[in-house]
Amino acid sequence: MSIGVSVHVPKNLKKPIYQVYEQRLLQTLDHEGLPQHIGVIHDGHRRYARAEGLPDYAASYRVGMEKFVEFLGWTGELEIPAVTCWLLSTENLARPGDELRPYYDVLIELFDRIPKTPAGQNVTVRFIGSLDLLPADLVEATKRLQESCSTGSRRVTIALAYGGRQEIVDAVRELVGKLAADGTPASEIAGHIDRDTISAGMYASDLPDPDLVLRTSGEARLSGFLLWQAAYAEYSFVDVYWPAFRHIDFLRALRDYTNRERRYGR
């Protein structure tokens, strides 16, 4: 018979312990096997606000967007070439306006801040999604960020008002429209629709498919994120809410990824 013993670690000791653990993870990480493209579903802001007793959701949004900047720094330190981050889904747009407006304001603050941070250096930022559904001031902020971060070697794609099903629909519509405009007979259009031609119509078709998709908050589903592109990605579902996501959580996800044998459906 074994007896479990709960050991309480004082808060003033946790930070040094975490730092030692981080260094160990970094030293043992297979840097050659790191993913080249990471997709992230930043989930759990509202539940974090309730769990932490924050005065409103805007407070948790700000913590989460600060974490977003940290995350960009983490991926930069490891020289991850591409990340795609889902910050707002089309389904989110159905939330009450008094929830959405504070989030929009936090996103505007974030987008104007990124170019001034180390994490915003050497990146090219692009937005995907139905931006026409967003308020004008938020759309203007996306344009300012794209103009400020347009020449970096690392790719940061931000999905706003994004839905994976809608992306596939848009890709097929664009393909069929182009074929029709080129004079392809209706009876022959179906013969031109295949995996490659649909892939070419994805919002960020020049990016490689994600190798790893990471979702926080303990939810084990994609919710429509990169449905087409993530068909053979590896997945990491992390229990913590996004605002509480730590560097060691990220490193653990990378460690687990490098230990997997990718089969690509074979």
What does 109-149 look like in DSSP terms, one character per residue? HHHHHGGGSGGGTTEEEEEES-GGGS-HHHHHHHHHHHHHS
35-162+209-258, superfamily in CATH? Decaprenyl diphosphate synthase-like (3.40.1180.10)
Catalytic residue among 12, 30, 56, 92: 92
Tell me, yes or no, if 92 is annotated catalytic: yes
**More confident call, 17 vs 246:** 246
Residue 201 and residue 170 in contact, taking contact as beta carbons nearer than 8 Å: yes
Three-class DSSP category at 85: strand
pLDDT in tens, 101-152: 999 999 999 999 999 999 999 999 999 999 999 999 999 999 999 999 999 9
Q: Is the pTM of this model over 0.85?
A: yes
Tokens encoding 193: 């629709």
pLDDT of residue 163: 97
Catalytic residue among 12, 30, 43, 196: 43
Task: Indicate if the pLDDT at residue 72 is higher than 60.
Answer: yes
Q: Domain residues of the chain, as ranges?
A: 35-162+209-258, 165-202
Task: Indicate if the pLDDT at residue 10 is higher than 70.
Answer: no
Q: Spell out the residues 6+ positions from residue 189 whose beta carbon is closer than 8 angstroms to its own.
A: 176, 179, 180
Distance of alpha carbon 235 from alpha carbon 220, whole angstroms:
9
Tell me, yes or no, if 43 is annotated catalytic: yes
